[in-house]
Amino acid sequence: MNAGVQQPASHTASYYAASSAPQANYPQLQGELSCDICVVGGGFSGLNTAIELAERGLNVILLEARKIGWGASGRNGGQLIRGVGHGLEQFTPIIGCDGVRELKLMGLEAVDIVRERIERHSIDCDLTWGYCDLANKPRDLEGFAEDAEALRSLGYRHELRLVQPEQMHSVVGSDRYVGGLIDMGSGHLHPLNLALGEAVVASKLGVRLFEQSAVTRIDYGPQVRVHTAQGSVLASTLVLGCNAYLNDLNAELGGKVLPAGSYIIATEPLSEARASQLLPQNMAVCDQRVALDYYRLSADRRLLFGG
């Protein structure tokens, strides 16, 4: 090995990394470049921001500190579920009822955007439709009925179906749950392959992607200059899509981000009979506890169990 030669970084060892599609190695930023918009972060936020901007004719550079999809975007539960969280009504005094409704609609639109992008660009990421919320208590099931009506009032166009206790074995091979809510507009996929596929889409649209290009400093002014160890980018606009890896790049934003851990284990490949017994309809599922459990089957019939 020649001294000083930058070797390709790798993803953190995981089931997703081991089963991913061939990974392109994007170059490290060298020298000074300029663009309309510089995006920092090569996860779902950064990649899809870059795609949207490039589709509108803007000149975009994306900087990733490690590998595309290295963070949570390539190491999550792989569950593609509608919504942006619970309890949105608490924001009514700030954004009003119309604002809360718009947030809820965004949570539905988000899945449609992923669906459309995968279909339009033929991204191979094991997309499978079907998701079920699992009720731990009878009042959870009552809440599911209310959730279904609320979704229908928003014009949700996908099948929603309450599952009664005696029907639960058609969804999951466990006696722990007292009901469920099936949502055929949500599902599961291979998240790292989705991120890698989106990087290809961005590149074809003209986005210049750089890996192993951690941002070390940002100079703000009429234009913004983003520095890395080996180069810099001068841009009219900056997008920080770093999530938990923002570090000290922006103190104001960094003070509002709280990293949270979620952990997943993968079994060995299961027999068809065992996989069918555990999740007969190959749905992603999640219970309602605060310290929740969520799980699904991979394309090669492993149980991916997280919490």
What CATH number is given to the structural domain containing 207?
3.50.50.60
Does 201 share its domain with 178?
no
Does 179 share its domain with 58?
no
Question: What pLDDT is stored for residue 259 in this prediction?
Answer: 80
Does 154 share its domain with 240?
no
Does 155 share its domain with 208?
no
Q: Is residue 256 classed exposed, middle or buried when 0-12, 13-18 and 19+ CB atoms within 10 A define those classes?
A: exposed
Q: Does pLDDT of 178 surpass 90?
A: yes
Predicted confidence (pLDDT) per residue in 38-77, tens digit: 999 999 999 999 999 999 999 999 999 999 999 999 999 9
Predicted confidence (pLDDT) per residue in 207-243, tens digit: 999 999 999 999 999 999 999 999 999 999 999 999 8
* Helical spans, DSSP H, in the chain: 15-18, 44-55, 92-121, 138-153, 191-204, 251-254, 272-278
Residue 134, domain member (yes or no): yes
Residue 213, domain member (yes or no): yes
Q: Is residue 13 classed exposed, middle or buried when 0-12, 13-18 and 19+ CB atoms within 10 A define those classes?
A: exposed
- Kind plus residue range of the DSSP H or E element containing 217: strand 215-219
Does 172 share its domain with 198?
no
pTM: 0.94
pLDDT bucket at 5, cuts 50 / 70 / 90: very low
In whole angstroms, what is the distance from residue 14 CA to residue 305 CA? 13
Domain count within the chain: 2
Does 229 share its domain with 143?
no
Does 150 share its domain with 97?
yes
Residues linked to residue 305 through DSSP beta bridges, in sequence order: 265, 295
Q: What is the mean pLDDT of residues 2-21?
A: 74
Share the mean pLDDT of the chain. Answer: 94
Residue 20, domain member (yes or no): no
Does 213 share its domain with 170?
no
CB 292 within 8 A of CB 249: no
Residue 112, domain member (yes or no): yes
Boundaries of domain holding 83: 79-189+262-306
Give the rounded distance of the alpha carbon of 190 from its chain centre.
Answer: 10
Does 101 share its domain with 185?
yes
Six-digit token pair at 28?
């490290």
Does 231 share its domain with 268?
no
Residue 19, domain member (yes or no): no
pLDDT bucket at 1, cuts 50 / 70 / 90: very low
In whole angstroms, what is the distance from residue 250 CA to residue 252 CA? 6
Predicted confidence (pLDDT) per residue in 108-143, tens digit: 999 999 999 999 999 999 999 999 999 999 999 999
Residue 150, domain member (yes or no): yes
Q: Does residue 114 sit in helix, strand or coil?
A: helix
